[in-house]
Structure 1
Amino acid sequence: MPASPFAHLRRHRRGYLALCALLLLGLVPDPPDRSSGPHLEAIRERDFLSIQTRNTPTTYYEGREGPTGFEYELMRRFADHLGVSLTLDADHNIAGVLEAVREEGDLGAAALPLDPTQPGLLFSRPIMPLQPLLVYRRGLPPPQDIADLVGLEIGTLRGTGTDRVMRELQADHPRLGWKESADMEVAALLGQVASSRLDAAVVFEHQFRLNRLFFPEVEDGFRLGKPLSLAWAFPAGQGLGLVREANRFLGQLQGSGLLERLETRYFGRDNYLEYVGARTFIGHVHERLPDYAALFRQAAREAGFDWKLLAAVGYQESHWRPRATSPTGVRGLMMLTNATAAEMDVDNRLDPAQSIDGGARYLRELKDRLPESITGEDRLFMALAAYNVGLGHLYDARRIVESRGSDPDAWADVRDALPLLQEREWFSKTRHGYARGGEPVIYVRNIRRYYEILAYVDRSQQQFHQLNARLPEEAESGLFDLVPPNS
């Protein structure tokens, strides 16, 4: 029997419904402030915006400087746009976010896929594309297409939109089956692939970009289907005022280019560490760092640093090898010169405890000696650069910055000036002369990335310990629901 001429429409009805809903929403004119609707007026009257979200690296989490994350950045800016404060409830999975928005919240911002078929909800305009991506465990034959996925143990997250894509694919590939979890997050899902409990997973491309350095055992395979759209969710039945105001705000961000810059900041990072040994670093975190973690913690407490930062410095210096020696005679885990060791009262540079303690105190001294006008992370990054290239050359770079009319207290400007110390046109005018000024730039960049990975591992250690403690049968029954093939 020939296929029905409406089969294509039935198969893709959700996509057409979504498109129609977006077109209709775009045709609704933005109302003037005096008729903004009861929901928006209630928010302004109570003076706060209530957000339902999730605690994930791509959405919202507590960073070194406080709350951060791509959608947190948007939430905070939207609250400022409305002139109100912000309250967050992050104790949700995807389904919990949507239910809380229906019942109590002003809006949901939690990497939600735009889905106009969701009952009791309205959605904002698209914020960014969500491209589903198949990733797989290193060592398996690289899957090239959907047919290669049949028979693999594949996992995905329910309610994120990737599960919807899998169901659409199953309509054309009935032998395709997979597992879904409603309670896991992307990092835990990738952990299942890395630990061989799954062969592959379906996540969004930006999520994998953000997490891939933490899971070097997981490879990207190929894109699945067309991109979905990330959007905010609002309760239906309370007027369109808040939705329209959010659309106006998001349109302004997009028009100014700020939305694209935020996407690049959070998800568009380069893969530099891939080329300088991400896999080696992850291996050393597990194999070498445990021998010295207590020493880093003790030295950090006494010097007033985060221990993970000191550990990152130690890795950049020696790869956590206590007997490391450079051709210039710099030695030990923190690679102290003879002069620095003497200044820090270190009599044995090859003793890990003395080296770590001396390096921590030396970094503290460098940071304290910087001008008071340098603050925050700029001060830390310049201290790290001075650890590598010396305070004198750092001051020379600051003078170059000043002569060029830029800000000598901003690391971004000093970072751009440091490589000029390799050029005679510039170093001939400085007090301390030539320096390999490109090295401290790479040095600080590497330490920042090493710290980022260590902070992630430290934050997630308990979660991964609990996951890895499960037997495979318990992991399957407790974490996933099976979606069997259709044939």
Structure 2
Amino acid sequence: MKFLRYNRKYLKHLLASLALFSVLGMMLAMRPTPTAMERVMSRGELVVITRPSSTTYYQDQHGFTGMEYELARGFADSLGVKLRVLESDDLAYVRYAVRKGTADLAAAGLVATPESSESLRFTTPYQTVRTLVVHRRNSPSVSDMRDLEDRNLAVAAGTSHAELLLKAQLQDPAIKYQEVEDATPEQLLALVENGKLDYTLINSNSYTLQRPLYPDLKADYVVAAKQPLAWAFSQKDDQSLYLAAQRYLTQAKADGTIAKLEDRFYGHVEQFNPYAARSFMRHLDDRLPRYEATFRQAEGDTGFDWRLLAAVAYQESLWDPRAISPTGVEGLMMLTNDTAREMGISDRTDPTQSITAGAAYLRSIHDRIPERIAEPSRTWMTLAAYNVGMGHLEDARVLTERQGGNPDNWQDVKQRLPMLANSAYAGQLRYGPARGGQAVVYVRHIRRYYDLLVWAENSRRKSDTLLALN
């Protein structure tokens, strides 16, 4: 009887515990699943996956940047959370990461096509691009998709370009193509340039930035116009984070944020000059290697990216240490006699002395620019002052403030620099008239050369890892 009494007591406790667990289970089941927005806010970070490229996400002297990166960072800031970036060259994985929940969204230069919209939820477009056919200049031009019949044609796997070619192939089976895994636009352009491919497809924004690196290529046929670039979200999630992104992008369009980013990343890209591009690429191979080690040493001494210093030197002298201007400045960095004496060098035509002194002089100007001016504006203003003088830059900043602009923002200041040569503003200039418009062009050219040096280095490194096409 005693055993039976204890056994009944144990059974009673067991049933009570089971009842408690059942209630707790029901309570947990009734608790609502956190929304996508709540998950982001609770962990304090927005996880974005992107594809590294010149149009999306890359690293320069100021850190990570790119059109997609800056937009995503702005979105994270608007939510009051940190931005964490995942990167992959595999677009299939980019989409998978969003669907699985590894990333909150994809900001990877994705074209919102009907096919991809079946598995992803796309925002309103923030840019539109055209899809172009690229080939060597000495190969037959393309005026119709039929011109691609029986050609050696390849595109990156999982892209909107592959979708376009699949549709074309259904209409014309003679169009054959390969999909290359993990290929970047830069790698595909390199394969066309070296003759391993006859044609590839590329978006117009990428082609605009990359074409100076491939002056022997051309794009003369538009496969598709007005292709929308958008962010992608999982369709399984609720729409809380998606709607917040929609509001952010809509506001970014309305307040000019997107226009300013487009000007920042594409505004310094001039009309393409194939002769200048060929010269740059030739000098990149023939001249720059002689001085690269010295530029890198100057980076260690001054903190400036060696590629930025090289870009300044190319703008000044085309990397020719014997260069001399009509005004008497000479050498790789085109230093005046006064600047050479100030920097303590004796021979302006000596490449090492010129680079060392030019970099030190650039650093001295940068240190005089107010610290509150954020990068990259501070560097662009430094370059403008290197060209036109610190006093004239200050005049332009004063004009900017008087006209309601931001004197600490390069995008605003560069609009006023040309006014320094206008007699209507003479009375407002403390340091007198100047060729401020020339300084704007000067900075634009250096930014362009710097971008090309960054992308050339990245492209060559990635191209070395791309397996030969079968």
**Which residue number corresponds to residue 468 of structure 2?**
475
Equivalent pair of 1:137/1:219 in contact (CA under 8 Å): yes
**Is the counterpart of residue 64 in structure 1 residue 61 in structure 2?**
yes
Which segment drifts farther, 200-209 or 75-84? Answer: 75-84
The alpha-carbon distance between structure 1 residues 268 and 165, as it changes in their structure 2 partners (threshold 3 A), is farther
> Within 2, Cα distance between the matches of 1:236 and 1:67?
29
**Which residue number corresponds to residue 299 of structure 1?**
298
**Which residue number corresponds to residue 380 of structure 1?**
379
Equivalent pair of 2:99/2:120 in contact (CA under 8 Å): no
What is the TM-score normalised by the length of structure 2?
Answer: 0.82
Aligned counterparts, 1:83-482, within 5 A = 83-105=80-102, 106-115=104-113, 117=115, 121-127=119-125, 128-225=127-224, 227-254=226-253, 256=255, 258-259=257-258, 262-263=261-262, 265-266=264-265, 270-272=269-271, 274=273, 277-371=276-370, 374=373, 376-401=375-400, 406-427=405-426, 430=429, 432-467=431-466, 475-477=468-470
Residues 430-462 of structure 1, C-alpha deviations (whole Å, 9 max, x = no match): 555443332222111111111111122233332
> Within 1, Cα distance between the matches of 2:308 and 2:165?
41
> Within 1, Cα distance between the matches of 2:390 and 2:39?
55
Which segment drifts farther, 226-235 or 208-217? Answer: 226-235
Residues 209-256 of structure 1, C-alpha deviations (whole Å, 9 max, x = no match): 232233222211211145544343333444444444444444444455
> Within 2, Cα distance between the matches of 1:442 and 1:158?
39
Which segment drifts farther, 172-181 or 240-249? Answer: 240-249
Residues 354-400 of structure 1, C-alpha deviations (whole Å, 9 max, x = no match): 11122122222233344556554333333322322333444444455
> Within 2, Cα distance between the matches of 1:365 and 1:304?
12
What is the TM-score normalised by the length of structure 1?
Answer: 0.79
The alpha-carbon distance between structure 1 residues 378 and 78, as it changes in their structure 2 partners (threshold 3 A), is closer
Unaligned 5+ runs, structure 2: 1-31
Look up the SS of the partner of 1:350 in the other structure.
coil
Which segment drifts farther, 297-306 or 153-162? Answer: 297-306
| Shift of residue 118, structure 1, vs aligned partner | 5.6
2:452 corresponds to which letter in structure 1?
A: I
The alpha-carbon distance between structure 1 residues 332 and 228, as it changes in their structure 2 partners (threshold 3 A), is closer
Residues 138-181 of structure 1, C-alpha deviations (whole Å, 9 max, x = no match): 22232222222223322111211111111111222221112211
RMSD: 3.1
The alpha-carbon distance between structure 1 residues 308 and 417, as it changes in their structure 2 partners (threshold 3 A), is same
Unaligned 5+ runs, structure 1: 1-34, 468-473, 478-487
Equivalent pair of 2:61/2:305 in contact (CA under 8 Å): no
The alpha-carbon distance between structure 1 residues 417 and 45, as it changes in their structure 2 partners (threshold 3 A), is closer
The alpha-carbon distance between structure 1 residues 111 and 36, as it changes in their structure 2 partners (threshold 3 A), is farther
The higher relative CO (CA closer than 8 Å, separation ≥ 6) is in 1
| Shift of residue 350, structure 1, vs aligned partner | 1.6
Which segment drifts farther, 305-314 or 404-413? Answer: 404-413
> Within 2, Cα distance between the matches of 1:237 and 1:410?
41
1:89 corresponds to which letter in structure 2?
A: L
Which segment drifts farther, 52-61 or 301-310? Answer: 52-61
> Within 1, Cα distance between the matches of 2:84 and 2:35?
19
**Which residue number corresponds to residue 51 of structure 2?**
54
Residues 10-61 of structure 1, C-alpha deviations (whole Å, 9 max, x = no match): xxxxxxxxxxxxxxxxxxxxxxxxx997444444444433333322332333
> Within 2, Cα distance between the matches of 1:160 and 1:451?
29
Equivalent pair of 1:116/1:123 in contact (CA under 8 Å): no
Look up the SS of the partner of 2:468 in the other structure.
helix
Look up the SS of the partner of 2:154 in the other structure.
strand
> Within 2, Cα distance between the matches of 1:253 and 1:428?
37
Identity %: 41
Equivalent pair of 2:329/2:336 in contact (CA under 8 Å): yes
Residues 332-372 of structure 1, C-alpha deviations (whole Å, 9 max, x = no match): 11112222222222222221111112212222223334455
Residues 390-425 of structure 1, C-alpha deviations (whole Å, 9 max, x = no match): 334444444555665655544444433333333344
> Within 1, Cα distance between the matches of 2:85 and 2:376?
26
Residues 88-114 of structure 1, C-alpha deviations (whole Å, 9 max, x = no match): 321351111222223233333323333
In the alignment of these two chains, the number of paired residues is 437
The alpha-carbon distance between structure 1 residues 359 and 180, as it changes in their structure 2 partners (threshold 3 A), is same
> Within 1, Cα distance between the matches of 2:139 and 2:96?
39
> Within 2, Cα distance between the matches of 1:309 and 1:391?
20
> Within 2, Cα distance between the matches of 1:239 and 1:92?
27
Residues 109-150 of structure 1, C-alpha deviations (whole Å, 9 max, x = no match): 323333555698331244244532111112223222222222
Look up the SS of the partner of 2:106 in the other structure.
strand
| Shift of residue 188, structure 1, vs aligned partner | 0.9
Look up the SS of the partner of 1:222 in the other structure.
strand
